Structure 1
Amino acid sequence: MKKNGLHRDLIVAVSALPLAICLLVSAAEADTAVGAQSLQRIAEHLAAADDDLLLQPSAGDQTPPAQTDDLLLQPTPTQSDDLLLPSAPAQSDDLLVQPSAKDDLLLTPTPDVVSPSVAPAIGAPIPTETPPDAAGTTSAGSTSGAAAEHEKLFAENRFPAATTCATCHPKQYEEWSASQHAYAQLSPVFLTMQAAINAKTSGTNGDFCVRCHSPVGMNLEESVYVSNFDRHPTSREGVTCITCHRIDRNYGKISGRLAIVEGDLYEPVFGPKGDEELNRVLDEPETYRVSTDRSAPGRAIHTEVERFFPLVTPGFCGTCHDVTLVNGFRLEEAFAEYHQSPASQAGVTCQDCHMGKEQGVASGYEEGPAAIVGGEPTRTRKLASHFFAGPDHSILHPGLFPLNVKAQSFKTMREWMTFDDAAGWGTDAFEKAAPRDYPFPEAWRSIDDRYDGRKIVEAQKKRLAKADERRLEVLRNGLALDEIRITSAAPGDLSFSATVRNITDGHSVPTGFDAERLMFLDVTVTNADGAVVYRSGDRDPNGDLRDTHSAYVHAGELPLDEDLFNLQSKFLVRLLRGGEREQVLPINTSQGVLPFVRPEALPTTIYGRPRTARKHKQTIDPLGQRTAEYAVPAEALTGSGPYAISVKLKAQMVPVNLILAIQDIGFDYGMSPRQVADAVVDGTLTIAERETVVTLGGQNRAEVQ
């Protein structure tokens, strides 16, 4: 059979989890959260370094000793173990989580990664670094009482929140607040993954990931490890309004190192049109009742809108959507792909496809007022959508996302996490049946609060459903599945093919973080009795595909799906001995005790790629196509049929094996790996589906009904 996945001869060895002898977390620590002390030491080490992305190399790095790994810094007596996570017990398998009797490889001995006795409130597992002190500080980025309010006010004066902008820009806020830009920092998968990468690189990855996901947080110098519960509200907004509209220069492809122009609401903002309409509004104070004077009555408004044309160019998007590590590793190439695409040559921009009327295709722009000031609309103009649909989706409690001004003012994040949506709190059915002594948490003891909370949650669910519609829209504008083609239907021989096409001319599909994007074919063949005789693209009990990273495949409990068609790219890392190995995370591990992320000693152009790790792309080029071929084993065929063939093209935001690879760090919001994995799988969308029925007989002849 033809293999539809990565060529096997490219891989010397594969692993579900990186072989990190010095970076393993003991089972006991995984149960109780995750190496807080280790991350504390990483943070302290980073704070002492001159470069937040890079520890300074020693003089000996210029000429590595013989018979050593020249890709890794050698340990020194003072650096031998101060940044390391505890090693695993001797009896454990460092490559594999063993299947349990319940067939659940992600379950920990307790329902959550963090035990309730260890974690505050709901048990946010991401550790904070600053202990309580007399000044009222409770954690890094978190204070109590009047000090907390003063800190928030000070930060708002530097970096206005999107909720402030929503007063006059409700349409833009409504779109953005359910977008992947708004979700960027809130994602528990992202937050754990960037902490795991730092743990596995001895902290030298620094804020490389989070500075794109939370530019405000990094400008506020928040810890990269702190829980979202304890971040400033504007920091939690991820790629918020001022991330784009308070940038005054074209930074180029710098992977998100942005200096946001500071200032309160009155300070200038930057946009594509300039301030002609703003000046008209300021000239009509009786109509709009605005004031640019902080001491005068009236609605606060920007004093100026400076024209910043790069905001509407693809290069501005490339600031974050082309990601190259300091060692030359190209993690994401969305902008580079676009730059070489037919769309680019035709003058179609990123904004034309992703900020227009329809997600993922150049469809023109809406028309309408850019602002509603005191109920009065400004003049009609071109309006860009701020929804930015993509393959990701929220796995959070609906009280937390989409971002909602009413929800935020009603309860805190921790309080929302205790609202039991599944139990039906705030519905007539639940409230009538609930006993008087039902153990409600303090925040929800009032039945009125529960009913009000239910109204907010139901409104949030409607917004999430609309977000799923836009997500499916952008995926269907990127990929198409042709009709099933029968290649053989002789007696005892059934084979067929399915072609997947990239129907966009702007970039490859998938693009961006393509090494963690699943776009695969789920194939089922059933006989006349309805019994399944062939499967490909099905899942193991964890929710993983049966690929080389499935823990069940590694355990020998399920066979490898050799016919799997999946457009997910693969990370290949160079090892100390031997060749390359495919891994879930692109971190080359060896017997050196301190793997670092650092610049290459030689230009990567000499090799055509960095020597430490690379990516084997499986994506489809713009307007390209790829065909998957399948053959049902002869022994599975039971007579002439008829045989029903179903082929579904599906998209999933990340693989479950990524959750497995990073779970030792723990997940924010007190979520367990099982909860995260289930939510990820539940968000899988079917982009397209084809079906046909075949009766075997004759010379390669199929009767298709």
Structure 2
Amino acid sequence: MKSPGLLSLIITTLFAGLIVFTGAAAPSEPGDFTSDQFSKSGICSNCHGSSFGEWDGSMHSNADSDFFYQATLQEYGVAAEAQGLSPDFCSRCHTPIGVVSAEIPPLDGSHLSEVSKEGVQCDFCHSVAESEGIGNAPFVLEPGDVKWGNRPDTESASHETEAHEFYNESAYCGMCHNIYHPVNNLTLGATYTEWEESPYAEEGVNCQACHMTPGIIGFEENPGKAASTGPEREHVYTHHFVGANAFVTDVMGENRHEKRAIEYLQHAAELEVNAPDSTGPGESVEVEIKITNVGAGHKIPTGVTEDREMWLELTVNDSEGRELYHSGALDSAGKIDSGATIYHTVFADSGGKPTVKLWEAESILSDNRIGPKGSVVEKHSFVMPENASNPISTKAVLHYRSAPQEHIDKLFGEGAYNVPVIDMATYPEEEKTSTPGFGITGAIIALSLRITLRRRKK
């Protein structure tokens, strides 16, 4: 991954002497504004057609309409009412205009205006004048004729413009991409902090370099116009804001964003496998698989990872195709076998029991996710059967899915949705596919991964 380099240096220099991130104002609160003070995103498309087209259908545009989020939100709403929790805790990031316009609560969305239903939309993002910190959306809004952005030389016939260096900083993303429990302050998600403590932050590679450029890994220039009437520019940030969500985007028919999410996943990790070609009957066979986070500037997986799952499936066969060892398989209900290591965060409730309900979380039982440029090694072993024939073959696949099938079945009913299982990396290298019965509908041409293969002969 490379940083924006010269472009970033030029922008930083141009911002010298402009408005700074002072944190002098209080975060915007419910009732500070009315929703009619914000413009619907369709208006922005008149001049910013490319940016609007990229945003349209993204997880930002569907932040409030996301069916998985809505189901979880309604569960939270019941708990919030019973336990006196803040009703707008989740909504502040998912429908920020709805919150500051006091259209939330109720959490069923019955009072939301059309502009509030647009989720994380154009006028909200470009009305952020500053932030009061990181996490739980401490944004300070100034809606109106002035639109905020990252260019000091912008001119528009439609509105006034102001430049703020904050728009070029990962801290802008950190407003919502760190999440803390509203009562006990437990860290529930820390994508920003994971980046901040990573080698990428030290190298000056920010969130925007990966999630707002055409490249899958790292900064890639995107020449063009930010507005139809604007000048040609060396680089225009894209507005897909893609992460790893190929589940919701698939169900909602947002195939452009689904495909790009899969591409991100398939460039996040590498596998190195150390396994014998042959061994004698009754001997122990040792297989080592090294999983390295090579493409993400944060941990994999990231976000609120109580539900997200990444795991390794390992299969060893003899020369006649007989299965000698298998770990990480899914059963007919879509459950991962109990012997596999699942990379995610496990939260505990007040009684110390695991929970996927974030509002119940009071501690972290475990967190074995893989940090940026970090690696873990899984070791597997089995005894070579007497009737097995050499040579033996080893296949390893690193899988990812947005949630356990069991959880989705509980929320929506069995058979309502199949959670796609994405092949992030494979050994030996092959075309990435989804698991039959739980996979992505439609044909997807997978991009190839760089996989380093090492075999130990015996």
Note the C-alpha offset of 1:536: 1.7
Call closer, same or farther: CA 1:231–1:261 in 2, change over 3 Å. Answer: same
Instruction: State the Cα RMSD in Å.
Output: 3.1
Query: 1:350 corresponds to which residue?
Result: 207
The 3-state SS of whatever aligns with 1:368 is coil
Query: 1:81 corresponds to which residue?
Result: none
**Residue segments in structure 2 that go unaligned for 5+ positions in a row:** 1-28, 430-454
Whether the 8 Å CA contact 2:286–2:380 is kept in 1: the answer is: yes
Note the alpha carbon deviations across 1:106-146, whole angstroms, 9 max, x for none.
xxxxxxxxxxxxxxxxxxxxxxxxxxxxxxxxxxxxxxxxx
The equivalent position to 2:393 in structure 1, one of 644, 660, 664, is 644
Distance in structure 1 (CA, Å) of the matches to 2:122 and 2:200: 27
Whether the 8 Å CA contact 1:210–1:224 is kept in 2: the answer is: no
The equivalent position to 2:185 in structure 1, one of 307, 310, 328, is 328
Corresponding letter in the other structure for 2:399? K
Query: 1:653 corresponds to which residue?
Result: 402
Query: 1:139 corresponds to which residue?
Result: none
Distance in structure 2 (CA, Å) of the matches to 1:397 and 1:365: 28
Call closer, same or farther: CA 1:486–1:634 in 2, change over 3 Å. Answer: closer
The equivalent position to 1:221 in structure 2, one of 86, 102, 106, is 102
Q: How does 1:38-49 map to 2 (within 5 A)?
A: none
The 3-state SS of whatever aligns with 2:377 is strand
Call closer, same or farther: CA 1:572–1:526 in 2, change over 3 Å. Answer: same
Q: Which has the higher helix share?
A: 1
Whether the 8 Å CA contact 1:314–1:335 is kept in 2: the answer is: yes
Query: Is 2:427 aligned against 1:690?
Result: yes
Call closer, same or farther: CA 1:330–1:277 in 2, change over 3 Å. Answer: closer
Query: Is 2:354 aligned against 1:614?
Result: no
Call closer, same or farther: CA 1:533–1:639 in 2, change over 3 Å. Answer: closer
What percent identity do the matched residue pairs reach?
23
Note the C-alpha offset of 1:385: 1.4
Call closer, same or farther: CA 1:233–1:256 in 2, change over 3 Å. Answer: same
Query: Is 2:202 aligned against 1:308?
Result: no
Query: 1:77 corresponds to which residue?
Result: none
Note the C-alpha offset of 1:686: 0.9
The 3-state SS of whatever aligns with 2:279 is strand
The equivalent position to 1:278 in structure 2, one of 127, 130, 155, is 155
Query: Is 2:208 aligned against 1:362?
Result: no
Query: 1:42 corresponds to which residue?
Result: none
Note the C-alpha offset of 1:702: 7.0
Query: 1:460 corresponds to which residue?
Result: none
Distance in structure 2 (CA, Å) of the matches to 1:335 and 1:198: 26
Whether the 8 Å CA contact 1:183–1:238 is kept in 2: the answer is: yes
The 3-state SS of whatever aligns with 1:317 is helix
Call closer, same or farther: CA 1:277–1:545 in 2, change over 3 Å. Answer: same
Distance in structure 2 (CA, Å) of the matches to 1:161 and 1:687: 37
Whether the 8 Å CA contact 1:357–1:385 is kept in 2: the answer is: yes
Call closer, same or farther: CA 1:270–1:675 in 2, change over 3 Å. Answer: farther
Call closer, same or farther: CA 1:155–1:192 in 2, change over 3 Å. Answer: same
Query: 1:234 corresponds to which residue?
Result: 115
The equivalent position to 1:165 in structure 2, one of 44, 61, 66, is 44
Corresponding letter in the other structure for 1:186? S
Higher-Rg member (1/2): 1
Note the C-alpha offset of 1:370: 0.8
Distance in structure 2 (CA, Å) of the matches to 1:310 and 1:277: 16
Note the C-alpha offset of 1:245: 0.5
Distance in structure 2 (CA, Å) of the matches to 1:185 and 1:659: 18
Query: Quick check: 330-339 or 534-543, which moved more?
Result: 534-543
Whether the 8 Å CA contact 2:277–2:391 is kept in 1: the answer is: no
The 3-state SS of whatever aligns with 2:166 is helix
Whether the 8 Å CA contact 2:277–2:392 is kept in 1: the answer is: no
Note the C-alpha offset of 1:623: 1.4
TM-score by length of 2: 0.78
Distance in structure 1 (CA, Å) of the matches to 2:274 and 2:114: 50
Whether the 8 Å CA contact 1:572–1:583 is kept in 2: the answer is: yes
Q: How does 1:122-161 map to 2 (within 5 A)?
A: 157-161=36-40
Query: 1:124 corresponds to which residue?
Result: none
Note the C-alpha offset of 1:581: 2.3
Query: Quick check: 312-321 or 509-518, which moved more?
Result: 509-518
The equivalent position to 2:175 in structure 1, one of 319, 324, 330, is 319
Note the alpha carbon deviations across 1:235-285, whole angstroms, 9 max, x for none.
22211112320111222114124454334xxx11101113x4415xx4xxx
Distance in structure 1 (CA, Å) of the matches to 2:178 and 2:149: 22
Distance in structure 2 (CA, Å) of the matches to 1:268 and 1:312: 18
Note the C-alpha offset of 1:393: 2.7
Note the C-alpha offset of 1:647: 1.0
Structure 1 stretches of 4+ with a deviation exceeding 6 A read none
Note the C-alpha offset of 1:176: 1.2
Distance in structure 2 (CA, Å) of the matches to 1:380 and 1:586: 43
Corresponding letter in the other structure for 1:256? A
Note the C-alpha offset of 1:487: 9.4
Aligned length in residues: 399
Query: Is 2:233 aligned against 1:380?
Result: yes
**Residue segments in structure 1 that go unaligned for 5+ positions in a row:** 1-51, 54-153, 283-300, 403-463, 547-560, 589-596, 598-611, 664-671, 693-700
Corresponding letter in the other structure for 2:187? R
Note the C-alpha offset of 1:315: 1.1
The equivalent position to 2:273 in structure 1, one of 462, 471, 483, is 483
Whether the 8 Å CA contact 2:267–2:424 is kept in 1: the answer is: no
Note the C-alpha offset of 1:677: 3.7
The equivalent position to 1:496 in structure 2, one of 246, 266, 287, is 287
Whether the 8 Å CA contact 2:34–2:100 is kept in 1: the answer is: no
Whether the 8 Å CA contact 2:281–2:387 is kept in 1: the answer is: no
Call closer, same or farther: CA 1:225–1:644 in 2, change over 3 Å. Answer: farther
The equivalent position to 2:307 in structure 1, one of 516, 530, 537, is 516
Distance in structure 1 (CA, Å) of the matches to 2:61 and 2:247: 10
Relative contact order (alpha carbons < 8 A, sep ≥ 6): 1 or 2 greater?
1
Corresponding letter in the other structure for 2:310? M
The equivalent position to 2:377 in structure 1, one of 623, 627, 634, is 627
Distance in structure 1 (CA, Å) of the matches to 2:53 and 2:334: 33
